[in-house]
Amino acid sequence: MRSLLLISVLSLYLHAQTILVINSNSDVKKYNEAVEEFGKSVKYPFKTLDISNKTTPEIKKYLYDEYPDVVYTVGAKAYQYANEYIPEKEIYFSSIVDWKKLPLNANRYGVSNELHSGMQLILIKSIFNNIKSIGIIHSKYTQNIIDDLTREAGALGITIHSEKIGEESLKKGEFDPVIKSCDAMMVISDPLFLNNEKTVEEVFHKSELYKKPVIAYHELFVQYGATLILSVDNPTIGRQIASMMERHSSDDTIEKIQYPAGTKIIFNKNVANKIGVEFTPDIASTATDIVE
């Protein structure tokens, strides 16, 4: 009887709360995937606001008029508006690159846009048996990612060869030494590096020339010649946020900022065979998708 009463009270509490989902841009596939799966997983009513075509005064008025109890923000823009105009509210977030740079109050919860560094390296090591060193080109903006990878790599017997760049060194584009010195290259979401498409193309070209597999974080890099893509599974993120929200509402203790629970693995078998890199014979059961 007591259990039924608790469930009833919890249900009434959640129904009484107003939930608002703020989508930074409904034209962005990864945002929509997370929002759609959140909608399928959350058990209670919610409203959705797409702010891509709204002005700041319109967004401000909407937030003040609705004044939701709980907010799920998808993308950095959505988080910034919720955090600025209704900071006292319980705010969840996802699909934000480098969440550690966000202003975070006590009532903030979210799922990181980056996979756990150790898990990425374990996957790489299990797929490519002979990789003992990984080269990464980065700038000051992603030093924290390099630090995390370096810390985790040591325990797995992997060495990280990092090449730090600035505006001037990026223009010179002298990346042959770091590519030659490692067993594989990794592309991370570094804004300075990615902002120069010519440099990105050159790194992929040289990696193929020196027969080094490139590991990247987004499926668009398949067209550049990436051998392996390790990315977050966006639908899983939506389900994860819904679960966090429900558990927190029932007073369960939750980890406030969580790593993504799902991983999407794309293996480019065509490139792997072309450059002659050895990979596990179990790749079909490991990868989500295989490019033949």
In the structure, what pLDDT confidence band is assigned to residue 170 with cuts at 50, 70 and 90? confident
Which domains occur in the chain, in start order? Answer: 2-114+234-262 (3.40.50.2300), 117-231+265-291 (3.40.50.2300)
What does the radius of gyration of the chain's CA atoms come to, in whole angstroms? 21
In the structure, what pLDDT confidence band is assigned to residue 17 with cuts at 50, 70 and 90? confident
Average pLDDT, integer, range 145-149 = 94
Chain position carrying tokens 């630090």: 147
- pLDDT, position 129: 85
pLDDT, tens only, 73-121: 999 999 999 999 999 999 999 999 888 889 898 999 999 999 999 999 9
Please give the structure tokens belonging to residue 25: 């841009």
Q: What is the pTM of this model?
A: 0.84
For the sheet containing 108-111, what is the strand order? Answer: 47-50, 19-23, 70-74, 90-94, 108-111, 257-258
